[in-house]
Structure 1
Amino acid sequence: MSRIVSALPLLALAACSPAETEADLGTEVPVSEETFGSSTSGLTTENGGSLNGGSLNGGSLNGGSLNGGSLNGNDLSGFLIHVDYAGAAINGDSSLDWVRIEGTQFQAKQGDVLHTGTAFLGAWFYGTLGDGRRAKLRIADMRAAEAPNGDLTEYWVEYRDDDNVWHPLCRDSTGAAVWAYPVKGVYDYRRGVPTGGQHSDDPDHFTFACAGGAVQKCINLGYRPWASRDGVSLAAHHQACTRLIRADYCGDGTPHTQNGNRVNLYDKLGIQTDTERWFFEASWDAQGARCFSPLNRSHAGIPCYNSRLDLFCGLGLSPEQEEGILLRNETPTAGLTP
């Protein structure tokens, strides 16, 4: 299989109020231990330019943002940087021993009780914006993701504004509210810096990956960062995929793509296979494009292009050349048409 996706800009949502105290989380209510069922299926999705978004299958359409979840404008000051495990509350009760994510399901320990699945309906969390303000979030609904990702759980997440009104956290490029996956760790949403676009493990924080962004799209493409294939962790493949989907060639968080650009991507593990006869462009690792083919000029204007040109890029002529390569991509044209 190979996939096609469209790019999505960072989307504006409303700003949230400062952090509340734990007393604001309500009174203790009995909790349930219901769990979601799971099924095994194949994986398809579109890619896009945001780190958090959604896609279908076929030749992907590249897009340019990391996360579709900004809370008031396009600058990072109103952007939801991460969500805290600490302070989470189930049915208004925040006396949890710990909260964690397994795949796309939340789990929480409270004494002898393990909360998971639908026990998290109505759960509250706190997130942090780029300017340091705190945002209050809640899980308003949850469901199994659409086939072929039916073993994953997606969440309808809302945030509370200054007037105590709840709004959808995630929106797509048309402004329509969309669902999200919870993903362990955090991302650097900056552009043009060495760590831009990079995922970091963080035991205290997680990310809500909104449908339409690269984080969610790459999960649906089969690069689940918590999983493995043939004994190989897919965490680095997921990172490489988010770079590729956003055309973050130089690995500094800067996208070099436009809405509607199509790309065919594939890997050696067989998660995505080469189904097109297009023009080879680049080989990828977790830091961006490892090398470019000089026969494809689709992105010849980007800063790192000339320094990474390699006549033998993608040919796999030696083990040394193949070492560390995670993904490859093709474009429908070679960028040579005036």
Structure 2
Amino acid sequence: MLKRGFLAGAMVGLISLGAGCAAEIDGGEDEEALAESSFAMSRLNGMNLNGVRFNGVRFNGVRFNGVRFNGVSLDATTLVGTREGDGAPVAGADFIGADVEAVLDDGSSVAVRVTNVVERDGLQYYTVKYNAGLGVWVNICGEGLDAIPVKGTWDAVTGAHSDDGGMFTFACQGAAIGKCAEWGYREWMAEAECNASGCEDRDLSYFHQACIRMVRADYCGDGVPHTQTGTAIDVWDALGIQTETVGSGMSLEAEWTVDGAACVKHTRWNGLGSSNPDRDYILAHCPERWAGDDPSCGGSTSTFHKENGFATPLGQRRILRNASFTTNVSPL
């Protein structure tokens, strides 16, 4: 599936409120300087993990007109809870106007406000804004973009996911966390995979995590992205949620696990002449992942295929593949 995205940058942004077939152009915006606010959007190196500089949203920090919502949790992407005092249930659009406690990088907290909630294609989208002062409310994801609530938080340096049950992330449209949910890798769901002996439910949280690594070209699984804005990629997976685009003109780039690339045939970007900084990074930091001319990478013996991988734990299995062009030259 060829895909097109919006934001490209670093792994920042957690309001953690804390980023068929698909062809993607890893999209991007220029860095925005919101100089009067600590919520400046961070866009580094072409692929944003998320869109905002928060490190978690507390389930127990939701109020509406000063009245606390109790027992707040996520049902898929729908916020649910009860109203303090009368115990009335609240869900989805009932959170419009609610102030939500977001945690900043330094551990302090700030309230952001839900200003709209809509449902599209089975996902709840929340418009979330913060008070930038002088009565100006600014969208945390960028103008015209919404956020999808996803359980847990992501480390802004390593990209590692954590879920202690107490926080969630407002994942911005166009950034990696939100993109992967929109592409069908919905971490709260399961999808059946069957072979001749029966069927097994596959936890899509593994596919969501692998997708985040893939979108950002986080080859070594260490949180370092290796992509640029406007990069076209083709995405498909072991379950057929996304399928390979025939005739894309691209060649296999890598196979992916939750820990990054299992093997890399070529990098998404090259340097000038014989230079290839991304390949050099792989060889220096995770050399076992560089496939070179090894035909097993992307081949018929890979655990990507259920004939080989059906019994392999999802945490170890090659569950995503992507293709890209080989003529991209990095401007850096």
The Cα of 1:297 is off from its aligned counterpart by 8.3
Q: Which runs of 5+ in 1 are unaligned?
A: 14-50, 191-195
The Cα of 1:261 is off from its aligned counterpart by 1.3
2:107 to 132, 156, 176: 132
Match in the other structure for 1:226: 188
The Cα of 1:144 is off from its aligned counterpart by 2.0
1:48-83 per-residue CA deviation (whole Å, 9 max, x = no partner) reads xxx994xxx742123699xx997136499x921111
Indicate if the aligned counterparts of 1:279 and 1:334 stay in contact, CA closer than 8 A.
Answer: no
Match in the other structure for 2:131: 160
Matched, 1:308 2:283: no
Indicate if the aligned counterparts of 2:3 and 2:24 stay in contact, CA closer than 8 A.
Answer: yes
- CA-based RMSD of the aligned residues comes to 3.4
2:119 to 135, 139, 144: 144
Larger % of strand: which?
2
Matched, 1:184 2:151: yes
Match in the other structure for 1:5: 5
Matches within 5 A, 1:37-52: none
Indicate if the aligned counterparts of 1:281 and 1:329 stay in contact, CA closer than 8 A.
Answer: yes
Match in the other structure for 2:220: 250
2:91 to 116, 119, 124: 116
The Cα of 1:166 is off from its aligned counterpart by 2.4
3-state SS, counterpart of residue 302 of structure 1: helix
Q: Output the CA distance in 1 between the equivalents of 2:126 and 2:268.
A: 40
3-state SS, counterpart of residue 203 of structure 1: coil
Residue 229 to residue 114, structure 1, CA distance change in 2 (3 Å): same
Q: Output the CA distance in 2 between the equivalents of 1:282 and 1:81.
A: 30
Structure 1 segments of 4 or more deviating over 6 A?
A: 294-297
Q: Which runs of 5+ in 2 are unaligned?
A: 45-51, 193-200, 271-277
Matches within 5 A, 1:8-19: 8-9=8-9
1:249-283 per-residue CA deviation (whole Å, 9 max, x = no partner) reads 11111100111111111111010101134211211
1:225-271 per-residue CA deviation (whole Å, 9 max, x = no partner) reads 11111111100100000100011111111100111111111111010
Indicate if the aligned counterparts of 1:7 and 1:246 stay in contact, CA closer than 8 A.
Answer: no
Match in the other structure for 1:325: 318
Residue 132 to residue 169, structure 1, CA distance change in 2 (3 Å): same
Q: Given the two structures, how large is their TM-score scaled by the length of structure 1? A: 0.73
Matched, 1:280 2:242: no
3-state SS, counterpart of residue 281 of structure 2: coil
Q: Given the two structures, how large is their TM-score scaled by the length of structure 2? A: 0.74
Identity %: 33
3-state SS, counterpart of residue 210 of structure 2: helix
Matched, 1:237 2:207: yes
The Cα of 1:316 is off from its aligned counterpart by 3.1
Residue 12 to residue 255, structure 1, CA distance change in 2 (3 Å): closer
Indicate if the aligned counterparts of 2:8 and 2:43 stay in contact, CA closer than 8 A.
Answer: no
Q: Output the CA distance in 2 between the equivalents of 1:199 and 1:334.
A: 33
